[in-house]
Chains A and B, each alone.
Chain A
Amino acid sequence: MRLSLLALPLALAATAALAHGPTPQKVSQSITVKASPDAVWTVAGDFAGIGKWHPAIAKAEGSAGGKDGGTRTLTLKSGGTLTESLDEWKPEARSYSYRMSGEPDLKALPVSSYSATLTVSPEGDGAKVEWMGRFYRGDTGNEPPDTLSDEAGREAMNRFFSEGLKGLKAAAEGKATP
Chain B
Amino acid sequence: MIRSGPVLVALLLAPLPALADPPALAGTVWVASQQGARLSRIETGAAAVVGDTAVPAAPATVAAGGGRLFLSHPDGRAITVAEATTGRVLRSLPYAGQVFGLAASADGRTVFATNWSGHRVDRISAEDGRVEGSAPTGRDPAHLVLDRAGRLFVADRESAQVSVIDAARMARIATIPVGTAPFALALDPGEGRLYVGNVRSNDLTVIDTARLAAVATVPAGAMPYGIAVSPDGARVLVTNQGAGTVTVLDATTLAIAATVGVGRYPEGIVVAGEGAAARAYVANWFSDDVTVIDLARLAAVARLPVAEGPRSLVLGEGGR
Q: Which residues of A contact B (CB under 8 A)?
A: 18-24, 26, 28, 87-88, 97, 99, 115, 117, 132, 134, 140-142
Contact = CB atoms under 8 A, between A and B. Distances in A.
B98 interface: yes
A19 B75 contact: no
17 contacts: A18-B158, A19-B158, A20-B140, A20-B199, A21-B74, A21-B116, A22-B98, A22-B100, A23-B74, A24-B34, A26-B35, A87-B223, A87-B242, A132-B264, A134-B285, A140-B117, A142-B77
The 8 tightest CB contacts between A and B, nearest first, are: A87-B222, A87-B242, A22-B74, A22-B100, A19-B140, A19-B158, A97-B242, A22-B116
Contact of B98 (A88, A97, A117, A141): A141
Per DSSP, are chain B's interface residues mostly helix, strand or loop, or mixed? loop
Interface string B234-248: 000000011110000
Contacts of A141: 98, 117
B268 to A, nearest CB: 13
Interface in B269-314: 285-286, 309
Contacts, number: 61
Contacts of A19: 139-140, 157-158
Contacts of B144: none
A21 B202 CA distance: 19
Nearest to A68: B222
Given A87-B223, A99-B223, A115 B242 contact: yes
Interface in B97-114: 98, 100
Contacts of B75: 23, 142
B195 interface: no
* Most chain A CB within a 10 A radius of its CB, from B74, B116, B157, B223: B116
B34 A23 contact: yes
A76 B117 CA distance: 30
Nearest to B101: A22
A18 B35 CA distance: 23
B286 A132 contact: yes
A80 B8 CA distance: 42
Interface string B201-228: 0100000000000000000001100000
B60 A23 contact: yes
B264 A87 contact: no
Given A20-B157, A21-B116, A134 B77 contact: no
A115 B116 contact: no
Contact of B243 (A20, A24, A87): A87
A20 B140 CA distance: 9
B120 to A, nearest CB: 15
B64 to A, nearest CB: 20
Given A87-B202, A88-B243, A115-B241, 10 more contacts: A19-B139, A20-B140, A23-B60, A23-B74, A26-B309, A88-B242, A97-B242, A117-B244, A132-B264, A132-B286
B58 interface: yes
